Amino acid sequence: MSVSDLDRLKSDIDELVPDLVATRRDLHEHPELAFEEVRTSGIVAQRLRSLGLEVQTGVAKTGVVGLLHGSAGDASAKTLAIRADIDALPIHELNELDYRSQVDGKMHACGHDGHTSIALAVADILSKRRDELKGTVKFIFQPAEENVGGAQPMVEQGVMQGVDGVIGLHLFSSMPLGYVGVRSGTVFASADKFTLHVKGKGGHAAMPHGAVDPVVIGAYITTTLQTLISRETSPFSPAVITFGTINAGTAFNIIPEVAVMQGTMRAFTPEHRAYLLRRIEEVAKGVATAMGGDCEIEQHGGCPPCINDPAMAELVKRAATSAVGEQHVLTGEEVMTTGSDDMACFLQAAPGCYFIVGAQNEGKGAYYPHHHPRFNIDEDSLPIAVEVLSRATLDFLG
Ligand SMILES: [Zn+2]
Ligand SMILES: [Zn+2]
């Protein structure tokens, strides 16, 4: 693109800002939880149709796919997918805003309202530039990113067939406004949830020798599993094991039969993830049997790590550099998180890049962590994200 083309893109985006903000606020006022995003996907489908896109609804229940066919023509035409997640969280919003959530107990506390409005604005911008696109842009509006996982069913329904590259972003309330974070390799960790059923033998608390205490066994399992990180994991490989719940017993003077523990494990490579999942099971069972009890482990199916392709990360980095300047493009550790995102499923299906866009601004009260009842974003991050996605797409299909 020439310099004047670049300026024209910026001014096109500037013109869209009032609509971009209004769309985000409307979605914010009407949050919908996983696989219940009926109103949201209705708005998305209607907007995409009005822009002349080919629209498919009801993909993985409440997902929407929009196809924008470029008219620049090329025998080697490629398809680039742009993914946005659309769901909200079961959190009661504590912000006092004109556009605060109108639904008690539900809130867009992760910024997916922003992601949805950003992708719609990109569709708007690019629909007016079909003649510059040699190929197809596939907009994927994914339900149920939080907890349940809407990405995998979309992939299973074939949305990634024929896709040559995939990009997406997460707004970040911990990164200052004006910065974009992009790097190749793993950026979001895998996430696995597991439940341990530690079995002992109940009895009188005063006569432990006649019982097998699952509370003591559970305590040993909790601390021993930490050695999988401190003794079996390279200090250069990030990984986490955390137990969030331990439940056992009914009274102070009874040794219970069972202790139930729920935990999560995060890792940065598929190999390390598989290794730790296997070792958690071996060690938990080994500790329990050594102490005269037993342990059964339930693994609940998890999310793989988000691994960016080097060439796709480079594509996004070029776009980000044009949008915010090289000194505002971060490529270090600050771009990595031990949080997870099922964007990973799309990244497994095609080379891609998941990047982050700074949305933090203390002056506007936008600094609370994601999933906090006072979470918010600086909306000035929205046009930045639109610009990066638009430029990356025009570069990929140009
Ligand atoms: Zn979230
Ligand atoms: Zn999120």
Tokens 């500037």 sit at which residue?
Answer: 14
- Residue 54 Cα to ligand 1 midpoint, Å, equals 29
Considering every ligand atom shown, identify the ligand nearest to the alpha carbon of residue 90 and give its number: 1
Predicted pLDDT of residue 147: 80
Task: Kindly list the protein residues that place their beta carbon closer than 5 angstroms to ligand 2, a single-atom ion.
Answer: 110
Q: Which of 175, 235, 184 is nearest to 369 (CA)?
A: 175
Predicted pLDDT of residue 39: 98
- Residue 75 Cα to ligand 1 midpoint, Å, equals 40
- Residue 86 Cα to ligand 2 midpoint, Å, equals 9
- Residue 164 Cα to ligand 2 midpoint, Å, equals 24
Considering every ligand atom shown, identify the ligand nearest to the alpha carbon of residue 115 and give its number: 2
- Residue 278 Cα to ligand 2 midpoint, Å, equals 28
pLDDT tens per residue across all 398 residues of the chain: 666 666 799 999 999 999 999 999 999 999 999 999 999 999 999 999 999 999 999 999 999 999 999 998 776 789 999 999 999 999 999 999 999 999 999 999 999 999 999 999 999 999 999 999 999 999 999 999 998 799 999 999 999 999 999 999 999 999 999 999 999 999 999 999 999 999 999 999 999 999 999 999 999 999 999 999 999 999 999 999 999 999 999 999 999 999 999 999 999 999 999 999 999 999 999 999 999 999 999 999 899 999 999 999 999 999 999 999 999 999 999 999 999 999 999 999 999 999 999 999 999 999 999 999 999 999 999 999 999 999 999 999 98
Q: Which residues are catalytic?
A: 87, 145
Within 241-330, residue ranges assigned H as helices are 270-290, 310-324
**Structure token pair of residue 359:** 């949305």
- Residue 31 Cα to ligand 2 midpoint, Å, equals 14
Cα-Cα-Cα-Cα dihedral of 324, 325, 328, 329, to 10°? 90
Predicted pLDDT of residue 301: 83
Q: Which of 62, 76, 235 is nearest to 150 (CA)?
A: 62
- Residue 80 Cα to ligand 2 midpoint, Å, equals 22
DSSP secondary structure code for residue 226 in this structure: H
Considering every ligand atom shown, identify the ligand nearest to the alpha carbon of residue 142 and give its number: 2
Cα-Cα-Cα-Cα dihedral of 83, 375, 320, 324, to 10°? 150
Considering every ligand atom shown, identify the ligand nearest to the alpha carbon of residue 371 and give its number: 1
